[in-house]
Chain A
Amino acid sequence: MDFLRPAGWEEALAAKAEHPTAVPIAGGTDVMVEINFDHRRPEYLLDLTRVAELAEWEATDRTVRLGAGVPYTRIIEELRTELPGLALAAHTVGSPQIRNRGTVGGNLGAASPAGDAHPALLAAGAEVEVASVRGTRRIPVEEFFTGVKRHVLEPDELIRAVHIRRADGPQQFSKVGTRNAMVIAVCAFAVALHPRTRTVRTGIGSAAPTPVRAREAEEFLGAALDEGGFWDSGAPLDPSVVRRFVELCAGACRPIDDVRGTAAYRRHAVGVMARRTLGWTWEAYREGEGRTAQCA
């Protein structure tokens, strides 16, 4: 196994172009496990930790450009306001040691349906910036995943950054695991209220071959909020609306039975998380969080 250590981004792209089988590695929290357990023996490892720009983020009015190599710990510490949903999700990743090393770029690259960042990215609204020596393109995160541990990247492409919409309203993230820390998701759910566009977005993890949005649920709730004048009134949600939203979220799952949980439980749990996280975000909205954003 050859270990490639590009000093800069252009060099990294060149290396990937020259060795398309090279496996990029940042924190190593996924890749090294696979290597140590002999599940994977790549010809080349492409170490991206010397590419300094990957470990940086910058915020503009509407988005945060998160370098692919920013570890979870820094998201929790530095981006709690801009990306509250992702910060909550980052908090559920592994142990403190894993959060110090693991990155959103790596989570996307692994493309596991159980990746903790994915539901939060889906709910917030995000685009993945990928590049190769041929050029750069931006892929909406909902189009990024193509199957279990598969994504749309070409063999010569690398993930450079994720452009995530800055929160303009309350966001929440919940994850069910069978212990109270350091656990892979049995299933996960994220919701983000977007008062500026008067929309609601969701993300579901570990309950389908890829992370998915519950689009029908989003559209239903968006319409119900709009029609009922809820964005302006901040009135409590009608229980029948919540019930329908929950049904549609659970219905968006295509779960399986596996060693971590049953399909029926996953669908049930996604429904419970959808109800609770919607309740928490709406309560926060009613209390003022994001209600000024509409005028911005």
Chain B
Amino acid sequence: MAADRTASAPATLTQATGATRGTVGESTPRPDGTLKVTGEFAYSSDLWHEDMLWGFTLRSPYAHAAIRSVDTAEALALPGVYAVMTHDDLPAGTHYGLEIHDQPVLAKDRVRFHGEPVAIVAADHPETARRAAARIAVEYEELPLVVDEATATAPDAPLLHPGRRDHHASHVPHPNIVHRQPIRRGDVAAARARADVVVRRDYEVGMQDQAFLGPESGLAVPAEDGGVDLYIATQWLHVDRDQLAPVLGLPADKVRLTLSGVGGAFGAREDLSMQAHACLLALRTGRPVKIVYNRYESFFGHVHRHPAKLTYEHGATRDGTLLYVQCRIVLDGGAYASSSPAVVGNAASLSIGPYVVGNVDVEAIALYSNNPPCGAMRGFGAVQACFAYEAQMDAVAAELGLDPVEFRQRNAMSQGATMPTGQLVDSPAPVAELLRRVKALPMPPERDWEAAGGPVDVRALPGGLSNTTHGEAVVRGVGYAVGIKNVGFSEGFDDYSTARIRLEVIGGEPVALVHTAMAEVGQGGVTVHTQIARTELGVDRVTLHPADTRVGSAGSTSASRQTYMTGGAVKHACEAVRAEVLRRGRERFGASHPAWAEPERLRLEDGKVVTDGGEVIGDLAGILGDEAIDLEREFRHRPTEPFDLRTGQGFGHVQYSFCAHRAVVEVDTELGLVKVVELAAAQDVGKAINPLSVVGQIHGGSTQGLGLAVMEEIVVSRDGARVRNPSFTDYLIPTILDTPAMPVEVLELADDNAPYGLRGVGEAPTLSSTPAVVAAIRAATGRPLKRVPVRPEHLTGG
């Protein structure tokens, strides 16, 4: 039965049991797991404070309009309303942004996208706040729309941000282009002349939403020192603080953030949403202010994945060697920059995929437009490219009459390869092996809906319980794809994480307290940090301090970087604490045993100091006594450098991660309905710190990619640039009946540059999942399918 085929971890993994100590490499259960599935976990939307007010945001109904006037008198007159604020009421800074400060806290004289915040209200009840917002009279005058590259760069195109002075302004070909990154290597023209086969096609990727389950929410509490305490679901506490302080007109130390329960992020919490609004209202009213978006508002409250138009040309010789790739990637960044420049850098530098290609001519740009702002989402520019280059790999293989996996393997990169950016891939890159593994897995049984011999089990068929087919017109297809994703912040960014470790004896037992500002958004850092501390300090009891800005920055929970970076910081700080333990031990007990003089021979284990020969020479309780060790350390990955603005050459990325998928689908070719039967993955993770979580990440990323392949898209009207489906009724994400069995093969080939040899895991599976599913649908239907998500009418021609 289909319902029994739940996604499961492979049996070869260590399963979490009560006997697990929870050290590095063991499957360790999440402390928040049971609470979350039973509904008891406290999310940021559950925050409550005595005397708190409720904030509400008035948003623009137009995608592009001049604001002629705003009248708040009617709203202020409503009983229960404590404050109404517009752009004119802002006390200090008026704009914010992750890289370019181009986004108004509240729109001034112009709105640039449907849903842009125009005014905020605080009232004693959410309903009162909502009604008050409806009484604010805003006079708009609609302006011409910029909706795509043609309208953005037309001779009379309205400029989204006239007078740009940001650091990309001087090198872009048009002020409505946020950033442009070319990459040039070799000689494409010469290679084209030698090619036996040339395939040139256009592709399109729709606007995907992160669709996290916990909407934007937080609570701002004004403090007696004139500052504010913000309890918030976010991805990076310190970058929120650094954007908030200038807007609030406060020094950074008076803006204190504490992480609240986060219901998923996937990039959508990298930009500010309600943070500044809640703080402004709290400081204005002197009362705690809570803001919670509902699902509708959430679709306007965060950035989405950049929709993209891509043109690719691949040339190959008859024997299956890729000679050149030429491509152009146009990302729509929407009204504000957000992280568009970095997304452009990723899309460009990863545009060829995990292949060796000597001749490359790439151009990636992001547009300013009146569409919804787009920014970070799991995969970050690499997803869009992967859909196109993997479709191309299949198309070229078909032209050559080669097996698509074999063609990929012939051109696959491996350790020692050179990226189109000139960067040497200096750690394992087992691309061909990952493909081999997914291909070698047994195929799921055919016509499984007939398996029981009884009546047809529609749950195993396209359409599921909707009962659209009992097997008629159902055709199976199989597709493969592989992708490459960078890990960590790139292009010269000073990327670091901080960890503070306190080791002390409590009740006769050594206890470690791990304090970082890492945002736990579901990725599993809460187990990883305790596992690392247990391993490095040899203690059983490890406590996590709540994440806040009282410790140094942990950087963002994004770019698959937290296990590497904040995990690395925890390791680094634990090593410093261990060194201090051994120093104190040597000071007090050095005379008792000669090994104290050789700390490199000593390790901490089960609360004891143990020699490499296994001899116990001291214990933590005795060494520490009443004195705690409390140390804070920063950890940096190796430095990177920006890509050259003309050639794209440069050591831009810290680390690469690779995942391959095989998708098996069944398509009702008459109705155009798809059932993904199985989605197998193989990924190199360097070292699985928590194998259970690693598989969970691969399952989650694969499913998110499946969603983009067959259903997930924010539909924006072309005539008004309005979002047409801001709800979970019409923005569909996969249900359990859409989620197939997902066998996972985990490779652990160490990257010597990384802590424990690990490789960031979270994003790579999101890349190759989409093209694998679409390749399988192509195989089943014979249709070219150049756009995702694939809709039923694309498969029926209707």
Q: Give me the interface of A with B, judged by CB distance under 8 Å.
A: 36-38, 88, 91-92, 172-184, 186, 259-262, 264-265, 267-269, 272-273, 276, 280
Query: Are A183 and B467 touching (Cβ within 8 A)?
Result: no
Closest chain-A Cβ to B501's Cβ sits at a distance in Å of: 45
The closest CB in chain A to the CB of B470 belongs to A280
Q: How many chain B residues touch A (Cβ–Cβ < 8 Å)?
A: 39
Q: Identify which of residues 502-537 in chain B touch chain A, using a CB-to-CB cut-off of 8 Å.
A: none
Closest chain-A Cβ to B394's Cβ sits at a distance in Å of: 24
Option from B295, B296, B464, B730 in Cβ contact (under 8 Å) with A181: B464
Report the Cα distance A231→B466, complex, angstroms. Answer: 28
Note all chain A residues with C-beta closer than 8 A to B462: 180
Note all chain A residues with C-beta closer than 8 A to B791: 178, 261
Question: Contacting chain A: which of B257-265, B484-492, B649-657, B732-740?
Answer: B732-740
Note all chain A residues with C-beta closer than 8 A to B672: 265
The reply on B715 being an interface residue by CB < 8 A is: yes
The closest CB in chain B to the CB of A276 belongs to B472
The reply on B580 being an interface residue by CB < 8 A is: no
Report the Cα distance A122→B144, complex, angstroms. Answer: 47
Interface centre among A92, A172, A267 (most CB of B within 10 A): A92
Report the Cα distance A261→B671, complex, angstroms. Answer: 12
A37-B294, A38-B130, A264-B793 given; A272·B467 CB < 8 A: no
Note all chain A residues with C-beta closer than 8 A to B459: 180
The reply on B69 being an interface residue by CB < 8 A is: no
Q: Give me the interface of B with A, judged by CB distance under 8 Å.
A: 130, 294-296, 459, 462-470, 472, 670-673, 675, 710-711, 715, 724-725, 727, 729-730, 732, 734-738, 791-793, 796, 798
Note all chain B residues with C-beta closer than 8 A to A88: 467
Query: Are A176 and B711 touching (Cβ within 8 A)?
Result: no
Closest chain-B Cβ to A203's Cβ sits at a distance in Å of: 14
Query: Are A180 and B796 touching (Cβ within 8 A)?
Result: no
Query: Are A37 and B735 touching (Cβ within 8 A)?
Result: no
Query: Are A179 and B734 touching (Cβ within 8 A)?
Result: yes
Query: Are A183 and B670 touching (Cβ within 8 A)?
Result: no
Query: Are B735 and A180 touching (Cβ within 8 A)?
Result: yes
Query: Are A269 and B467 touching (Cβ within 8 A)?
Result: no
Option from B294, B675, B724, B793 in Cβ contact (under 8 Å) with A180: B675
Interface of A is mostly: mixed
The closest CB in chain A to the CB of B460 belongs to A180
Can you identify 23 A-B contacts, CB atoms within 8 angstroms? A37-B296, A174-B467, A175-B466, A176-B468, A176-B671, A177-B466, A178-B710, A178-B791, A180-B464, A180-B466, A180-B673, A181-B466, A181-B736, A184-B729, A259-B730, A262-B798, A264-B793, A264-B798, A265-B796, A267-B798, A272-B670, A276-B470, A276-B472
Option from A172, A175, A268, A276 in Cβ contact (under 8 Å) with B798: A268
Option from A38, A92, A184, A262 in Cβ contact (under 8 Å) with B467: A92
Interface centre among A173, A182, A186 (most CB of B within 10 A): A182
Note all chain A residues with C-beta closer than 8 A to B469: 276
Query: Are A178 and B670 touching (Cβ within 8 A)?
Result: no
A37-B296, A38-B130, A264-B793 given; A176·B670 CB < 8 A: no
The closest CB in chain B to the CB of A172 belongs to B467
Note all chain B residues with C-beta closer than 8 A to A36: 294
Report the Cα distance A265→B794, complex, angstroms. Answer: 9
Query: Are B792 and A180 touching (Cβ within 8 A)?
Result: no
Report the Cα distance A95→B757, complex, angstroms. Answer: 44
Option from A91, A92, A175, A181 in Cβ contact (under 8 Å) with B735: A181
> Told that A37-B294, A176-B466 touch, could you supply 17 new A-B pairs with CB distance under 8 A?
A92-B467, A174-B466, A175-B468, A176-B671, A176-B673, A176-B792, A181-B464, A183-B732, A184-B729, A259-B715, A259-B724, A259-B730, A265-B792, A265-B793, A268-B796, A269-B671, A276-B472
Report the Cα distance A180→B469, complex, angstroms. Answer: 12
A174-B468, A178-B711 given; A262·B734 CB < 8 A: no
A174-B466, A176-B671, A179-B738 given; A269·B729 CB < 8 A: no
Note all chain A residues with C-beta closer than 8 A to B671: 176, 269, 272-273
A261-B793, A264-B798, A268-B796 given; A273·B468 CB < 8 A: yes
Report the Cα distance A176→B675, complex, angstroms. Answer: 13
The closest CB in chain B to the CB of A178 belongs to B711
Report the Cα distance A265→B668, complex, angstroms. Answer: 14
Closest chain-B Cβ to A83's Cβ sits at a distance in Å of: 15
The closest CB in chain A to the CB of B468 belongs to A174
The closest CB in chain B to the CB of A1 belongs to B127
Note all chain B residues with C-beta closer than 8 A to A184: 729-730
Query: Are B798 and A91 touching (Cβ within 8 A)?
Result: no
9 nearest A-B pairs in the assembled complex, by CB-CB distance? A180-B464, A265-B798, A265-B793, A181-B737, A268-B798, A180-B737, A175-B466, A264-B798, A181-B735
Note all chain B residues with C-beta closer than 8 A to A38: 130
Note all chain A residues with C-beta closer than 8 A to B737: 179-181
Query: Are B793 and A262 touching (Cβ within 8 A)?
Result: yes
The closest CB in chain A to the CB of B726 belongs to A37
Query: Are B738 and A186 touching (Cβ within 8 A)?
Result: no
Report the Cα distance A184→B231, complex, angstroms. Answer: 37
A173-B467, A261-B793, A264-B793 given; A182·B130 CB < 8 A: no
The closest CB in chain A to the CB of B729 belongs to A184
A259-B715, A262-B798, A268-B798 given; A181·B467 CB < 8 A: no
Query: Are B673 and A175 touching (Cβ within 8 A)?
Result: no
Report the Cα distance A276→B792, complex, angstroms. Answer: 17
Report the Cα distance A257→B329, complex, angstroms. Answer: 30
Interface centre among A175, A176, A180 (most CB of B within 10 A): A180
Note all chain A residues with C-beta closer than 8 A to B710: 178-179
Note all chain B residues with C-beta closer than 8 A to A280: 470
Note all chain A residues with C-beta closer than 8 A to B798: 262, 264-265, 267-269
Query: Are B467 and A180 touching (Cβ within 8 A)?
Result: no
Closest chain-A Cβ to B670's Cβ sits at a distance in Å of: 5
Report the Cα distance A294→B706, complex, angstroms. Answer: 49
The closest CB in chain A to the CB of B674 belongs to A180
Closest chain-A Cβ to B234's Cβ sits at a distance in Å of: 25
Query: Are B738 and A181 touching (Cβ within 8 A)?
Result: yes
The closest CB in chain A to the CB of B715 belongs to A259
The closest CB in chain A to the CB of B459 belongs to A180
Report the Cα distance A294→B758, complex, angstroms. Answer: 72
Report the Cα distance A276→B461, complex, angstroms. Answer: 15
Report the Cα distance A254→B132, complex, angstroms. Answer: 41
Note all chain B residues with C-beta closer than 8 A to A180: 459, 462-466, 673, 675, 735, 737-738
Query: Are B730 and A260 touching (Cβ within 8 A)?
Result: yes
The closest CB in chain A to the CB of B130 belongs to A38
Query: Are B715 and A178 touching (Cβ within 8 A)?
Result: no
Closest chain-A Cβ to B76's Cβ sits at a distance in Å of: 21
Report the Cα distance A260→B798, complex, angstroms. Answer: 13
A259-B715, A264-B793, A265-B793 given; A175·B467 CB < 8 A: yes
Note all chain B residues with C-beta closer than 8 A to A262: 793, 798
Report the Cα distance A265→B465, complex, angstroms. Answer: 20
Report the Cα distance A218→B71, complex, angstroms. Answer: 60
Report the Cα distance A173→B130, complex, angstroms. Answer: 42
Note all chain B residues with C-beta closer than 8 A to A175: 466-468
Query: Are B465 and A92 touching (Cβ within 8 A)?
Result: yes
Option from B466, B472, B792 in Cβ contact (under 8 Å) with A92: B466
Query: Are B735 and A179 touching (Cβ within 8 A)?
Result: yes
